[in-house]
């Protein structure tokens, strides 16, 4: 394989990738105005030319060894790139984001197999697809060896590709400067896109953009809390915080959760509660810090625990942290629980059911052997609904689906069997929750323990018939609306229909259970759960997007600062949240930096 053959091999792969890239635009939506069509063409060719350059760089050194080595290197690396794009397209189809280091670390991390529960048939289909792609690339390599076009053709083709790359960056710079919707909306369709922007340079020479673009908050040194805590003495209740992974609001019903529903008559039931994220990382982070997920890296890097956890330790609470899934993937051990020595990182067992049961056993042992002279804080994090897993003899709702093979799911797939799987998993957790409440009563702790029961995020099961299964793919009510139940000693149970959020939990406990008099603004983005005044906005985060919710309106900002508007059913709308709500929400992202 000559150097010219290697170049043509890369061009053949580029053409294959360009054809496949149309899938991204089909999923994201085509913009058919002149600017949109031009940008789609130049972004596909220009962005993918960068990947072609990477393939060329990886293959060329093998030509030094010889033409045969170059051929086999081309086949191997070409197959790698083809599989990358196939995998990225699948991820984008399911979640509307691309392969990232964060997701790869999560998938290949210590808890990858616990988090991503995939059936054997799906692995078989992936293997078959990889072999097919490898065969296609092998054919391309054979064809490229037969191309005899000379230097003029190579130079002409290279010049065209350079022009496409320049056109892509130039169109984006113009579109961002002029705030052209069809340009800005499409920039995140392709993987790892980061085209040029000229706004800063143009400002230096006196030109101002048409409108100030939305941008991510500044980075800096953390200033958390804003002022030292001022806390008084008072009766210290035990505190038990219980999370059910992927617990959607409508699954809290007498049919699905008979035990918990019966006990909820004595609870404060917040029926309009929103999580702070549509995935575990953001949902749990917002619950403990009362801050948006944008602070994750800052707190993790500095290993600063939440003021709530630190205050519990200062008050000599016994801490019992019991999670079914591992607490080092995501790395909650680096932020939320970083100040806790000898942290229990996970539960024993092969399946989620086994690990949830192990959690229950360990919590029972903790309660029975605790130092009764000290108050305790318990954290229970059940995981089975995350994978729609339940015991073999726990099939209460039928018919069920044998497995959830995402490659076979479409927007036309009947969600009923998968919903029944989910209901069965929640029904199983209801039995464990009953054991928890019974344990508190048996040990005489019910009258002295605040119990908070909620979910880290919701779970969508093709509710909009747009092929969304699971979570972390959009900010609809099915992925963000979760139950919130609070059993508080000396407070009567009742239903409360005003808006509350995960950001309100810590301010409630800090002020009314730990008697801290600081205003919530010193350490939180929320307010007391018992404050029924309207919330001006709610920040909901995913791994790569932030949503500002005002009422039922959502404005979603991606990592490049571009904005789209939706309603709570995740249907696109022309208008989003008010400028006032947007401005106030963006301030939260930088409030706790010096």
Sign of the C-alpha dihedral computed for residues 289, 290, 292 and 298 taken in this order? negative
Higher pLDDT, 478 or 294: 478
Joined tokens for residue 406: 């995402």
pLDDT mean over 558-578 = 83
Summarised one tens digit per residue, pLDDT across range 369-391 is 999 999 999 999 999 999 999 99
Instruction: Report how far Cα 500 is from the mean position of its chain's Cα atoms.
Output: 21
Architecture of the domain whose range is 238-537:
3-Layer(aba) Sandwich (3.40)
DSSP summary character for residue 334: G
CA distance 439 to 359: 14
pLDDT mean over 110-114 = 61
Joined tokens for residue 462: 């093709």
pLDDT mean over 554-582 = 84
pLDDT band at 105 (very low <50, low <70, confident <90, very high): low
Higher pLDDT, 211 or 31: 31
Residue 212 pLDDT: 46
- In the chain, residues under CATH classification 3.40.720.10 are 238-537
Of all helices (H) and strands (E), which one includes residue 28? helix 3-28
CA nearest neighbour of 119 among 317, 324, 406: 406
Query: What are the angstrom distances between the C-alpha of 571 and each of 104, 535, 553, 564, 576?
Result: 29, 23, 10, 11, 12
| Matching residue, tokens 């000693």 | 489
CA distance 243 to 235: 25
Instruction: Report whether the peptide linkage leading into residue 428 is cis, meaning its omega lies within 30 degrees of zero.
Output: no
Residue 112 has pLDDT above 70, yes or no: no
pLDDT-above-90 percentage for the chain: 71
Neighbour-count burial for 538-574, b at 16+ CB within 10 Å, e otherwise:
bbbbbbbbbbbbbbebbbbbbebebbbebebebeeee
pLDDT mean over 432-447 = 97
Residue 245 pLDDT: 98
Determine the 3-state secondary structure of 240 from DSSP. Answer: strand
CB 376 within 8 A of CB 348: no
CA distance 110 to 331: 10
Residues in Cβ contact with 465 at an 8 Å cutoff, skipping those fewer than 6 apart = 411, 412
CB 107 within 8 A of CB 91: no
């Amino acid at each position: 394989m000559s150097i010219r053959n290697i170049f043509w091999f890369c061009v053949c792969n580029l053409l294959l990738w360009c054809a496949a890239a149309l899938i991204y635009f089909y999923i994201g939506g085509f913009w058919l105005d002149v600017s949109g069509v031009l940008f789609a063409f130049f972004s596909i060719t220009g962005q993918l030319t960068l990947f072609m350059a990477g393939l060329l760089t990886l293959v060329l050194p093998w030509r030094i060894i010889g033409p045969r080595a170059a051929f086999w290197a081309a086949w191997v690396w070409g197959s790698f790139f083809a599989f990358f794009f196939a995998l990225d397209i699948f991820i984008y189809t399911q979640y509307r984001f691309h392969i990232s280091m964060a997701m790869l670390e999560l998938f290949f991390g210590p808890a990858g197999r616990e988090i991503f529960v995939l059936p054997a048939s799906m692995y078989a289909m992936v293997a078959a697809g990889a072999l097919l792609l490898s065969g296609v690339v092998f054919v391309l390599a054979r064809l490229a060896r037969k191309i005899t076009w000379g230097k003029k053709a190579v130079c002409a083709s290279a010049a065209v590709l350079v022009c496409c790359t320049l056109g892509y960056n130039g169109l984006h710079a113009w579109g961002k400067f002029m705030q052209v919707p069809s340009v800005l909306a499409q920039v995140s369709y392709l993987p790892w896109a980061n085209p040029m922007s000229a706004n800063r340079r143009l400002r230096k020479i006196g030109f101002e953009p048409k409108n100030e673009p939305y941008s991510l908050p500044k980075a800096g040194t953390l200033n958390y809390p804003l002022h030292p805590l001022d806390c008084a003495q008072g009766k210290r209740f035990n505190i038990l915080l219980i999370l059910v992974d992927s617990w959607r609001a409508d699954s809290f019903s007498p049919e699905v959760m008979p035990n918990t529903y019966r006990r909820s008559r004595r609870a404060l039931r917040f029926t309009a509660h929103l999580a702070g994220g549509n995935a575990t990382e953001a949902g749990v982070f917002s619950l403990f810090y009362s801050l948006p997920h944008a602070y994750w890296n800052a707190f993790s890097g500095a290993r600063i625990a939440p003021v709530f956890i630190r205050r519990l330790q200062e008050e000599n609470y016994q801490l019992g942290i019991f999670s079914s899934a591992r607490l080092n993937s995501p790395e909650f051990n680096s932020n939320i629980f970083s100040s806790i020595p000898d942290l229990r990182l996970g539960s024993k067992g092969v399946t989620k059911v086994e690990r949830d049961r192990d959690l229950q056993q360990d919590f029972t042992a903790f309660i029975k052997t605790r130092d009764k002279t000290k108050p305790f804080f318990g954290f229970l994090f059940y995981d089975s609904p995350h994978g729609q897993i339940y015991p073999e003899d726990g099939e209460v709702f039928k018919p069920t689906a044998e497995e959830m093979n995402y490659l076979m799911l479409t927007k036309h797939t009947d969600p009923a069997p998968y919903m029944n799987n989910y209901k069965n998993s929640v029904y199983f957790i209801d039995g464990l929750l009953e054991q928890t409440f019974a344990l508190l009563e048996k040990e005489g702790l019910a009258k002295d323990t605040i119990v908070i029961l909620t979910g880290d995020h919701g779970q969508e099961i093709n509710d909009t018939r747009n092929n969304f299964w699971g979570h972390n793919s959009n900010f609809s009510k099915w992925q963000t609306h979760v139950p919130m139940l609070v059993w508080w000693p000396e407070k009567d149970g009742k239903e409360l229909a005003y808006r509350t959020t995960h950001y309100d939990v810590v301010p409630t406990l800090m002020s009314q259970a730990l008697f801290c008099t600081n205003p919530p603004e010193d350490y939180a983005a929320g307010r007391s759960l018992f404050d029924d005044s309207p919330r001006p906005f709610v920040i909901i985060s995913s791994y790569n997007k932030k949503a500002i919710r005002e009422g039922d309106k959502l404005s979603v900002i991606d990592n490049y600062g571009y904005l789209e508007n939706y309603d709570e059913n995740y249907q696109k709308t022309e208008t989003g949240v008010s400028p006032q709500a947007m401005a106030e929400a963006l301030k939260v992202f930088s409030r706790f930096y010096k």
